[in-house]
Amino acid sequence: MKLTANKIAGVLREQGYKLTPQRHALLKVIASHHDHLSPDAIYEITRKEYPGIGRVTIYRTLELLNKLNLVCRVHAPDGCRSYMMRRPSEHHHHLICSGCGQAIDFADCDLSQLEKKLAERTGYHIEGHLLELYGRCNNCQETGKE
């Protein structure tokens, strides 16, 4: 099932949250982009359609969507975050360039043995994992960008 702005709007309503025009505009922006977007980029794009939207609304809505597991949040090495629409059927992780901040998704990770060992050693019941790897993309390597 692919999440769309309308499906997320339905989830918000089901969970008892209001679907304001500002939230709907933000949902359309996230749904229409296939890249990870920073909150500032989301703000600038959303503001074109809904000029009255504020940055606080963007941040609060992104936190709500993250809490409801409807967006995917990426942590960049510089502490900034970016977001994209969650793809529920695709378990994935991120490769993040420490030079330009580009984030690339990848799905192939077999951490089952590590999870099993950690569970045995710690007594935890492991429910999932998040993996982000940092490095420098080809472009940043070629241009010497750090």
pTM check: above 0.95:
no
d(CA 107, CA 81) in angstroms, rounded, equals: 20
Domains, the chain:
1-90 (1.10.10.10), 91-146 (3.30.1490.190)
- What tens digit of pLDDT does each residue of 5-62 get? 888 888 899 999 988 888 889 999 988 887 778 899 999 999 998 898 999 999 999 9
- Strands 93-97, 132-135: pairing is parallel
Angle subtended by helix axes 55-67 and 21-32, to nearest 10: 70
Residue 86: pLDDT band by 50, 70, 90 thresholds? Answer: low
